Structure 1
Amino acid sequence: MVNNYRISDLMTCTIADMLEDGETVFHGVSSQMPMVAMHLARHSHAPNLVHLNIPGGVNPESIKKASYSSAGADLVEAGESNFGLDEIFDLSMRGKLDVAFLGGVQFDRHGNINASVIGDYDKPKVRLPGGAGSAVLIPTAKKAIIWRTKHDPRTFLEKVDFVTTRGNLWKIITPLCVFVFQNGQLELDTIHPHTTIEEVQKQTGFPLVYDEVRYTKSPTRKQLQILQRIDPDDFRSAEM
Structure 2
Amino acid sequence: MNQSPYRVSDIMTCAISNLLADEETVFHGVSSHMPMVAMNLARNMHAPNLVHLNIPGGVNPTSIKQAGYSSAGSDLVASGEAYFPLEQIFDLSMRGKLDVAFLGGIQFDMNGNVNASVIGDYHKPKVRLPGGAGSAVLIPTAKKAIIWRTKHDIRTFVEKVDFITTRGNLWKIVTPLCIFEFKNGKLHLDRIHPTSSLEEVKANTGFELLYDELKFTELPTQKELNMLKRIDPYDCRSIEFL
TM interval, short-chain normalised: over 0.9
2:72 equivalent to 1:71: yes
Distance in 1, Cα, partners of 2:4 & 2:121: 43
Query: Aligned-pair distance for 1:65?
Result: 2.5
Match of 2:212, as an amino acid?
D
Distance in 1, Cα, partners of 2:178 & 2:65: 28
Q: Which residue of 2 aligns with 1:20?
A: 21
Instruction: Answer whether contact 1:28 1:71 (CA < 8 A) is retained.
Output: yes
Q: Which residue of 2 aligns with 1:157?
A: 158
Partner secondary structure for residue 17 of structure 2: helix
Partner secondary structure for residue 166 of structure 2: coil
Partner secondary structure for residue 188 of structure 2: strand
Distance in 2, Cα, partners of 1:4 & 1:226: 18
Q: Structure 1 regions of 5+ residues with no counterpart? A: none
Q: Which residue of 2 aligns with 1:239?
A: 240
Q: Which residue of 1 aligns with 2:189?
A: 188
Match of 1:166, as an amino acid?
R
Query: Aligned-pair distance for 1:3?
Result: 3.6
Match of 1:6, as an amino acid?
R
Distance in 2, Cα, partners of 1:123 & 1:67: 36
CA RMSD of aligned residues (A): 1.2
Partner secondary structure for residue 127 of structure 2: strand
Q: Which residue of 2 aligns with 1:87?
A: 88
Instruction: Answer whether contact 1:66 1:75 (CA < 8 A) is retained.
Output: no
- 1:51 and 1:109, CA in 2 relative to 1: closer, same or farther beyond 3 A? same
Match of 2:171, as an amino acid?
W
Aligned identity (percent) is: 73
Match of 1:87, as an amino acid?
Q
- 1:66 and 1:50, CA in 2 relative to 1: closer, same or farther beyond 3 A? farther
- 1:167-196: per-residue Cα shift (whole Å, max 9, x none)? 210000000000000011000000000111
Q: Which residue of 1 aligns with 2:30?
A: 29
2:166 equivalent to 1:140: no
Partner secondary structure for residue 238 of structure 1: helix
Distance in 1, Cα, partners of 2:65 & 2:3: 25
Match of 2:93, as an amino acid?
S
Match of 1:159, as an amino acid?
K
The ranges of structure 1 where at least 4 consecutive aligned residues each deviate by more than 6 angstroms after the TM superposition are none
Instruction: Answer whether contact 1:66 1:72 (CA < 8 A) is retained.
Output: no
Distance in 2, Cα, partners of 1:227 & 1:67: 16
Query: Aligned-pair distance for 1:131?
Result: 0.3
Instruction: Provide the aligned length of Structure 1 versus Structure 2.
Output: 240
Superposition map of 1:30-49 within 5 A: 30-49=31-50
TM-score w.r.t. the length of structure 2 is 0.97
Q: Which residue of 2 aligns with 1:125?
A: 126
- 1:38 and 1:159, CA in 2 relative to 1: closer, same or farther beyond 3 A? same
Q: Which residue of 1 aligns with 2:8?
A: 7
Query: Aligned-pair distance for 1:212?
Result: 1.4
Query: Aligned-pair distance for 1:232?
Result: 0.2
Distance in 2, Cα, partners of 1:40 & 1:3: 22
- 1:209-230: per-residue Cα shift (whole Å, max 9, x none)? 0111110000000000000000
Distance in 2, Cα, partners of 1:67 & 1:146: 23
Q: Structure 2 regions of 5+ residues with no counterpart? A: none
Query: Aligned-pair distance for 1:121?
Result: 0.1
Instruction: Answer whether contact 1:67 1:74 (CA < 8 A) is retained.
Output: no
Instruction: Answer whether contact 1:108 1:157 (CA < 8 A) is retained.
Output: yes
Match of 1:236, as an amino acid?
R
